[in-house]
Amino acid sequence: MWAAYLDQLAEPAAVPQRDGTADLTLRAREKFSLSTLANGGQLPRAFTPGMQPAFPVLRGLPDAALARQVISTGRQRMLQGALDVPRVDARPGTAEHAGFVPAPGERILWVGRPQAAPWWFGTADITFSAYFALFVGAIGFIFTWARSTGAPLVPITVFITLAVVAFGYPAIGRVLRRHARIKRSAYVLTDSRLLTTWRAGRRMGVAQCALAQLLAPEVRHGSVFMNLAWPPRSGRRQSWEQLLWPAASTHPPQLIVLAAPQAVADLICSAQLAERARTWRQTNTRI
């Protein structure tokens, strides 16, 4: 599943095909003054759990011209403030236990916690751990072989220890750390942003993102997953923190195993549209 609001898209482009159909290419609209709250870069694409899906190409459309016109018209309506904004009703909950203090004028709409802390998140996640676990196993054979050849104990022990740490963390260390973080997490939705907080020793960790920077939420396996409308450009520094997805501070907040995930997703959608309408009114009032 993939979803975006029409005002987050650039004008779609239709590419004719030889069979009379056309492909409709979707891409992110150029962001103006918005700045992403996500940090870090991209890790190797083949072994990165939680890699954000690319904007899709709608292939083989027999009515691509009509689809392009519908998207373009709806996009212009949203950019001009013609929004159908459903009522946003705050749900019961307090953010005190989440260690969150709203900004002046900011309204809390919902507070929740994960109902469970899964160990794995899809086959890519399992494959990632298995891939590095093979290296850990190979290191054990190397150590046994080195000792049998009479290699010096201290240098080989230091090398093996560093190698086990380097490969063992992606294999299992990140899974244990992620599981513990999810269990300590709390989720907060306000009328302008979405946050995850967790206790990290004596301090409070936080991952947050403005609602205007997020695509529409995706409900999957009892969780609500969020993606950026403007993903970070490639070439930024890589970070081990990214391996903790969906509990990484370098990604937008992901709401894991909720009691009513669809209701929360609907509330997020309503808050996103209400925030757009409020921003549009304020901008046009100033003009």
Instruction: List pLDDT tens digits, range 215-228.
Output: 999 999 999 999 99
Dist. CA 264–CA 226, nearest whole Å: 12
Within-domain flag for 212:
yes
- Residue 96 is predicted with a pLDDT of 61
Residues 32 and 54 in one domain: yes
For 271, the 3-state DSSP assignment is helix
Residues 95, 230 share a domain: yes
Share of the chain above pLDDT 90, in %: 34
Rounded CA-CA distance 118/182 in Å is 9
Residue 150 lies in a domain: yes
Task: Give pLDDT tens digits for 74-111.
Answer: 988 888 887 777 777 766 566 666 678 888 989 999 99
Chosen domain end from 144, 163, 180 = 180
Q: What is the pLDDT of residue 185?
A: 94
Quote the distance between the C-alpha of residue 135 and its chain's center.
28
- Could you tell me if 168 and 215 lie in one domain? no
**Which residues, in sequence order, are CB contacts of 52 under 8 Å at separation 6+?**
227, 228, 231
178: left (phi over 0), alpha (psi -120 to 50) or beta: alpha
Rounded-to-integer distance, Cα 116 and Cα 258, Å: 8
Whether residues 83 and 216 fall in one domain: yes
Domain containing 131 equals: 123-180
Tell me: do 39 and 76 sit in the same domain.
Answer: yes
φ, ψ (nearest 5 deg) of residue 187: -115, 140
Does 13 share its domain with 110? yes
- Is the domain of 209 the same as that of 274? yes
Name the one residue in this structure whose structure tokens are 């104990």.
153
pLDDT at 269 over 70: yes
Same domain for 160 and 205, yes or no, is: no
R_g of the chain computed on alpha carbons: 23
Among 144, 160, 180, which residue terminates a domain? 180
- For residue 208, being part of any structural domain is answered with yes
DSSP 220-270: ETTEEE--BSSPPPTTSPP-GGGGGTTS-TTS---B-S-SSHHHHHHHHHH
How far is it, in rounded angstroms, from Cα 249 to Cα 254? Answer: 10
Per the CB < 8 A criterion, the answer to whether 213 and 14 are in contact is no
Query: Does residue 1 belong to any structural domain of this protein?
Result: no
Q: Is the pLDDT of residue 37 over 60?
A: no
Is the entire prediction scored with pTM above 0.85?
no
Minimum mean pLDDT range among 51-60, 205-214, 215-224: 51-60
How many domains does one find in the chain? 2
Across the range 65-70, mean pLDDT stands at: 91
Return the higher-pLDDT residue of 113 and 3.
Answer: 113
* Residues of the chain above pLDDT 70, percent: 85
Q: Say yes or no: 25 and 138 in one domain.
A: no
Looking at the structure, tell me whether residues 95 and 222 fall in a common domain.
yes
Q: Do 72 and 93 reside in the same domain of the chain? A: yes
Cα–Cα distance measured from residue 248 to residue 252, given in angstroms and rounded to the nearest whole number? 8
Report helix, strand or coil for 21. Answer: coil
